Structure 1
Amino acid sequence: MPKPEAVTLKQLRALQAVSEHGSITAAAEANRLTPPAVHTQLRQLETNFNARLVERGPQGVARLTRQGEAVLVGARAIETALEASAEHVRAINEGMEGMVTLGVVSTAKYFAPRLVAGLQRAHPSVDVLLRVGSRETIVGALASVSVDLAIMGRPPRVPEVQATVLGPHPHVLIARANHPLAGRGRLTAEAILSEGFVVREEGSGTRILLERFLERLGRGRPARMLEMESNETVKQAVMAGLGVALISRHTVAEELAAGRLVELDAQALPLVRQWFLVHRSDTALSAAGRRIHADIVARQGAFLPG
């Protein structure tokens, strides 16, 4: 009975060399072996297949039997598969293939899909998975290493990360189109503080920025706040006349352009922060992760709304 599990690459390559060069001596020279070494490999291969694979003729000529030709087909298939595997491994090692999970805070969801689409076009063999969540969710994902890279407005202290600036992140004060403060020019602190504010949940980057803005503006004066769970509900609440809001300009670009919302003018506005691309300092990025990281940075914020 044939014993294919005992077959080695050396034996198969000896058979291939004989087929290509026509003799054991020429096969030995091509493989930088001695003729007895090639002869030994062939004998072992014939034993493993329980068949005569090579016929030897006059003047040292050798040719494959029908059984030998059948084994040669398998040998070539194995070589092809190994070459394909080696190419696949090389592509992975060089970051040409792989999977990268990109986490973004909810405010970035307005531009992140366009960014990911551009990355997929540039790197079709790298799967870039997009994960959108609150700041707390994305920081937790970094801590659990369930995302490779993250885009956010303020790098966390824990876990420790390496952060790269991507571009400006302006925050503006918005109101409904027919709000009494719309079009009044530079607003006073009193005019702003007399309004109710539609805000995000505690701990969100936008909420923290608003609280710091109001603290500077009102010197501790309390403000009326109505909390909403997402940027979309904040926008809808402002358009419904429930108050004004400090929000990322990148989340309201369409509404401002369409005139459904207006940007109010006040000293120190817009508040310009930065978008950061972060990854854990203590966890090495894969080759694909490094390639995607480099591509995002090289775009120099071109994917951010104008």
Structure 2
Amino acid sequence: MKRLDQLTLKQMRALSAVVDEGTISAAADRLGLTGPAIHSQLKSLEDIIGAPLLIREGRERNTPTAQGQAILDAYSELRAAMARALHRINALNSGLEGSVVLGVVSTGKYFAPRIVAQLHKELPGIEVILKVGNRQEILAALEKRELDICIMGRPPRAPQVDARPLAQHPHILIASADHPLAQKDLILREDLFEQKFVVREPGSGTRILATRFLDETGTAQKVSVVEMSSNETIKQAVIYGLGIALISAHTVADELRSGRLIALPCHGLPIYRTWYILSRADQRLSATAEKVRDWAISHAAELLPDLKDLKNTGHTG
């Protein structure tokens, strides 16, 4: 047999049409070709195969030889494979299939798995690869083009990004249920004097916000600070009475509902920031990444923790 790459779909299509229609002339009519063109394609195919492909049975019938049937079977499989490929291409072009790398700052890890799980249910053809890190780590990954889209608070100055609002992001002051401040109806600035604040590491968005809050209330020089490396350790430290903390309400929704933590009613709180979903401005998103971004924006209200019932815990939003 000659080289495989000499076979063409046109040759196999001509063979299939002759077998289906019975004659070369009928096959030519179906395909919009001339009889000699069909004959030439069959002759080329027989030369490649090295054997006859058709048995002539009367004037109106051409049946395949064993070799011809093998080609027809292969052609049928090729058509099915191409149909599947085109279906997948259409899905990719419409954003219904493919993979997306989603970066989320660590404060968002409490709702990010819900986003991935719900996406899997509603858009099962899309694989979402979730990467969680602190703000500096997510920005570094964005800089290296390791992320398609990411969720964070304040958009960075560099690299330039296309940032779209996702949802409000309230920050509250939390304490343990038996903390001395827990019994007060309203926390005044002087009530914060001599308090111990549990804060995130430098560079964290939550740390930046806590520092700004202490500066704006004039208490920065009057409180002591204990640094923790994650929101989870901050929650545990506050639960066990180590201090109080300014933290994202989305990270402590469950603890507030269970009573393990309370939100202290304080002037100027909650501080409302915004969650953004963003991508590099100089990086064109795939249709799949656009689909995930737009889906997340339209479903944000149901994906983030419900904070409406937190007013009974001191939350004053």
Unaligned stretches of 5+ residues in structure 2: 307-317
The answer to whether the 8 A contact 1:97-1:125 is kept is yes
In 1: Cα distance, 2:168 partner to 2:77 partner: 55
In 1: Cα distance, 2:133 partner to 2:144 partner: 14
In 1: Cα distance, 2:250 partner to 2:94 partner: 34
- For residue 163 of structure 1, report the CA deviation from its aligned partner: 1.1
The answer to whether the 8 A contact 2:256-2:262 is kept is yes
The answer to whether the 8 A contact 1:3-1:49 is kept is no
In 2: Cα distance, 1:289 partner to 1:3 partner: 41
- For residue 168 of structure 1, report the CA deviation from its aligned partner: 1.2
Q: Closer, same or farther in 2 for the Cα pair 1:258/1:220, shift >3 Å?
A: closer
- For residue 60 of structure 1, report the CA deviation from its aligned partner: 5.7
The one-character-per-residue Cα deviations of 1:178-223 (angstroms, maximum 9, x if unpaired) are 1111121111111113201110000111111111111111176353
The answer to whether the 8 A contact 1:172-1:246 is kept is yes
In 1: Cα distance, 2:239 partner to 2:91 partner: 50
Structure 2 residue aligned with 1:59: 59
- For residue 132 of structure 1, report the CA deviation from its aligned partner: 0.9
The answer to whether the 8 A contact 2:192-2:219 is kept is no
In 2: Cα distance, 1:174 partner to 1:73 partner: 70
The one-character-per-residue Cα deviations of 1:24-73 (angstroms, maximum 9, x if unpaired) are 00111111111001000001111111101123354364332232122211
Structure 2 residue aligned with 1:162: 162
Structure 1 residue identity aligned to 2:305:
P
Q: Closer, same or farther in 2 for the Cα pair 1:220/1:179, shift >3 Å?
A: closer
The answer to whether the 8 A contact 1:177-1:260 is kept is yes
- For residue 129 of structure 1, report the CA deviation from its aligned partner: 1.2
Structure 2 residue aligned with 1:185: 185
Does residue 174 (structure 1) correspond to residue 174 (structure 2)? The answer is: yes
Structure 2 residue aligned with 1:116: 116
Structure 1 residue aligned with 2:31: 31
In 1: Cα distance, 2:7 partner to 2:54 partner: 16
- For residue 300 of structure 1, report the CA deviation from its aligned partner: 3.8
Superposition TM-score, scaled by structure 2 size: 0.93
The one-character-per-residue Cα deviations of 1:119-176 (angstroms, maximum 9, x if unpaired) are 1111101001111110111111111111111111111111111111111111111111
Structure 2 residue aligned with 1:103: 103
Greater mean deviation of Cα atoms: 147-156 or 296-305: 296-305
Q: Which secondary structure state, in structure 1, belongs to the residue aligned with residue 180 of structure 2?
A: coil
Does residue 13 (structure 1) correspond to residue 9 (structure 2)? The answer is: no
In 2: Cα distance, 1:186 partner to 1:136 partner: 35
Structure 2 residue aligned with 1:275: 275
Structure 2 residue aligned with 1:144: 144
Greater mean deviation of Cα atoms: 86-95 or 216-225: 216-225
Q: Which secondary structure state, in structure 2, belongs to the residue aligned with residue 242 of structure 1?
A: coil
Count how many residue pairs are aligned between Structure 1 and Structure 2. 306
Structure 1 residue aligned with 2:248: 248
Structure 2 residue aligned with 1:234: 234
Structure 2 residue aligned with 1:284: 284
In 2: Cα distance, 1:154 partner to 1:225 partner: 23
Structure 1 residue aligned with 2:211: 211
- For residue 96 of structure 1, report the CA deviation from its aligned partner: 1.3
Unaligned stretches of 5+ residues in structure 1: none
Greater mean deviation of Cα atoms: 82-91 or 36-45: 82-91
Calculate the aligned-residue CA RMSD, in Å: 1.5
In 2: Cα distance, 1:67 partner to 1:300 partner: 59
- For residue 80 of structure 1, report the CA deviation from its aligned partner: 1.5
Superposition TM-score, scaled by structure 1 size: 0.96
- For residue 265 of structure 1, report the CA deviation from its aligned partner: 1.3
The answer to whether the 8 A contact 1:24-1:60 is kept is no
In 1: Cα distance, 2:241 partner to 2:219 partner: 26
- For residue 101 of structure 1, report the CA deviation from its aligned partner: 1.1
In 2: Cα distance, 1:129 partner to 1:230 partner: 22
Structure 1 residue identity aligned to 2:224:
R
| Residue identity (%) | 46
